Structure 1
Amino acid sequence: MRNVYWIGGGSGAGKSTIARRLADRHSWRVYATDDVMADHARRTTAEEAPFLHAFMAMDLDERWVDRSPETMMETFPWFRGEAFGPIVEDVARLARDTPVVVEGFRLLPHLVLPLVTEPGHAIWLLPTPEFRRAVFARRAASGGMFTQRTGDPGRAVRNLAARDALFTERLDEETTRLGLPALTVDGTMTEDELAERVGGVFRL
């Protein structure tokens, strides 16, 4: 895993954008964990990932409208680390030939820490609630939010925002406890500046 760099964090923090910029600049490969969620779900059984299979059995309203943000947080399979094993398997194969930057909210600090063999190879981006709301508003305006397909899109967005705020708080607490780098993303930095900050942590 010496060739691997990890960018975790909350939804809407710019993980994908920063990963692509660094990959383009340094000729790395990008492994986006969001893109392989369906594949990883197929590679697990209900015994291995009970929360994941329960989530897949729900309709959109059951997932995003009918439950409290707290329940959504505690039962969301990716927040519980389910199906993290396939990420490690995939990345181990990719990293044999060239450096890889892995990005996504599924990178929980306590799961990534044992894989960080070089100092400064992992960071978490922590969006403020205000920044996340602005990102969600832009996505909703462009029709890119799955919450629009629920029976109550407004409530679904509020639930999702509250759940993600709880998740970001947990990431903040965990990175602090484990001594891992984290950056607050509040919109005061440009994407170029954020990429430079991340590159600095990676000692590029």
Structure 2
Amino acid sequence: MRNVYWIGGGSGAGKSTIARRLAARHGWHLYATDDVMTDHARRSAPGQAPELHRFMAMDMDERWVNRSPETMLETFHWFRGEAFGLIVEDLLRLPPGRGVLVEGFRLLPHLVQPLLPGPGHAVWLLPTPEFRRAVFRRRAAAGDFAGRTGDPERARHNLAVRDALFTDRLRKETARLGLPAITVGLTATEDELTGRVSRVFGL
């Protein structure tokens, strides 16, 4: 894992954008955890990922409308680290030698920390409430999955509150573990964030 770098963080913080820029600049392999969620769900047995399979059995309103944001946070499978081992399996199958950049909200600090060869290999991007609201407005305008529920506004509210709670959890966990975190506000540019992450990685 000495050639692996990690970018975790809250939803809509710019993880994918920064990761694509850095991977292209340095010739690294980019591993986006969002892209493998369907594959990991298929590879996970109910006993290995019970919350994932409960989630898969729900309809859209059960997932996003009828439950409180707090319940959504505590039971969301990826937030509980289910199938994180499959991320590690995938990374170990990659050819050795080339740098790898892993990105996604599934990278929980306490799961990533034991895999780090030293400081400067991981960072978490933490969006401010204002930044999150702006991202959610853009997604809603473009047509998001909440539109497929019976109450899109309620679903968006629940999701926004859940993601705010998750970001707060990441902030506390990175601080407790002494891991780098960057607050992402409305004034942050892609160039600025790319530079800040590069400095964390010592590039």
Q: Same fold (TM over 0.5)?
A: yes
Alpha-carbon shift at residue 48 of structure 1 (Å): 0.7
Give the aligned partner of residue 100 of structure 2. Answer: 100
Alpha-carbon shift at residue 37 of structure 1 (Å): 0.4
- Name the SS of the counterpart of 2:110 in structure 1: helix
- Name the SS of the counterpart of 2:44 in structure 1: coil
Normalised TM-score (structure 2): 0.98
Per-residue CA deviations over 1:22-61 (Å, capped at 9, x if unaligned) read: 0011011110000100100111111111000000000110
- Name the SS of the counterpart of 2:46 in structure 1: coil
- CA distance in structure 1 between the partners assigned to 2:95 and 2:153 by the alignment: 42
* Aligned positions of 1:110-125 closer than 5 A: 110-125=110-125
* Aligned positions of 1:1-204 closer than 5 A: 1-94=1-94, 96-143=96-143, 145-204=144-203
- CA distance in structure 2 between the partners assigned to 1:95 and 1:168 by the alignment: 33
Alpha-carbon shift at residue 10 of structure 1 (Å): 0.3
Alpha-carbon shift at residue 118 of structure 1 (Å): 3.0
Deviant stretches of 4+, over 3 Å: none
- CA distance in structure 2 between the partners assigned to 1:139 and 1:166 by the alignment: 19
- CA distance in structure 2 between the partners assigned to 1:154 and 1:44 by the alignment: 32
- CA distance in structure 2 between the partners assigned to 1:157 and 1:142 by the alignment: 13
- How large is the Cα RMSD of the aligned pairs? 0.8
* Greater alpha carbon shift after TM alignment, 12-21 vs 113-122: 113-122
Per-residue CA deviations over 1:64-88 (Å, capped at 9, x if unaligned) read: 0000000000000000000000000
Listed as ranges, the gaps of 5+ residues in structure 2 are: none
Alpha-carbon shift at residue 100 of structure 1 (Å): 0.6
- 8 Å CA contact 1:3–1:95 kept in 2: the answer is no
Per-residue CA deviations over 1:105-137 (Å, capped at 9, x if unaligned) read: 000000000001132000000011111110011
- Name the SS of the counterpart of 1:85 in structure 2: helix
- CA distance in structure 1 between the partners assigned to 2:72 and 2:192 by the alignment: 33
Letter in 2 for 1:129: P
> Aligned residue pairs: how many?
203
- 8 Å CA contact 1:175–1:182 kept in 2: the answer is yes
Normalised TM-score (structure 1): 0.98
Percent of paired sites with the same residue: 74
Alpha-carbon shift at residue 140 of structure 1 (Å): 1.2
- 8 Å CA contact 1:61–1:150 kept in 2: the answer is yes
- 8 Å CA contact 2:123–2:197 kept in 1: the answer is yes
Per-residue CA deviations over 1:155-182 (Å, capped at 9, x if unaligned) read: 0000000000000000000000000000
